[in-house]
Amino acid sequence: MCIFCKILNKEIPSYKIYEDEDFYAMLDISQATPGHTLVLPKKHITNIFDLPEDLASKLFVVVKKVSDMLKEKLGFNDLNILNNSGEVAGQTVMHLHIHIIPRYSKDEINLSPVEHEYNKELLEKVYAKITN
Ligand code: 5GP
Ligand code: ZN
């Protein structure tokens, strides 16, 4: 059983901040910033590619609810929403989860994509692949 399934099974404790029929939200054990939260489906689903569409739409509603709740309680104005799907993308727990990361003016995390130079050829090649 994966570590998040064990948490859902109450074999491992967690700081629960939201729960409904399909989802569970808890503080990340390693707080990137104060309030860093994970929202996960109760069903073991590995990543975004295994997520059925009906749960996908419900999931974003929960992410929105939890974001608003955290904002109200913690008083920040900004946040990042992040999902790592797959090892190369940095997923370490193979049970789908969305990171909600409050941002504070003097926090020290950097989640911005690395900037690359404008490359028309590359853009057009990938665009053709996607649209053909
Ligand atoms: P990933 O790298 O897969 O996107 O994120 C996994 C996250 O799960 C990490 O931020 C890590 O701190 C968190 N995590 C790992 N084990 C536990 C745990 O036992 N409890 C909680 N609450 N978070 C965990
Ligand atoms: Zn699991």
Amino acid 110: pLDDT? 86
Residues with CB under 5 A from ligand 2 (ion): 2, 4-5, 44, 95
pLDDT tens sequence across 77-95: 999 999 999 999 999 999 9
0.75 exceeded by the pTM? yes
Amino acid 112: pLDDT? 79
Ligand 1: residues with CB < 6 A are 3, 12, 14, 26-30, 84, 90-93
* Catalytic-role residue among 36, 44, 95, 97: 97
**Residue 109 Cα distances to 37, 101, 102, 114, angstroms:** 15, 10, 11, 14
Distance from residue 110's CA to the centre of ligand 2 (Å): 28
Q: Is the dihedral of CA 86, 89, 94, 100 positive or negative?
A: negative
Residue 124: phi and psi, rounded to 5, are -70, -35
Amino acid 31: pLDDT? 97
The answer, yes or no, to whether residue 115 has pLDDT greater than 90, is: no
* Count of beta carbons in the 10 Å neighbourhood of residue 95: 21
Say how many residues make up the chain: 132
Nearest to 61 by CA among 30, 21, 101, 91: 21
Record the tokens describing residue 48, joined without a space. Answer: 């975004």
pLDDT tens sequence across 17-69: 999 999 999 999 999 999 999 999 999 999 999 999 999 999 999 999 999 99
Ligand 1, closest atom to CA 82?
4
**Residue 32 Cα distances to 8, 56, 104, 110, angstroms:** 22, 25, 11, 10
Q: Quick one: CA torsion of 69, 70, 71, 76, rounded to 10 degrees?
A: 170
Asked if residues 29 and 35 have their Cβ atoms less than 8 Å apart, the reply is no
The answer, yes or no, to whether residue 113 has pLDDT greater than 80, is: no
Distance from residue 12's CA to the centre of ligand 1 (Å): 13
Amino acid 114: pLDDT? 80
Amino acid 111: pLDDT? 83
Distance from residue 29's CA to the centre of ligand 1 (Å): 6
> Does residue 116 have an active-site annotation?
no
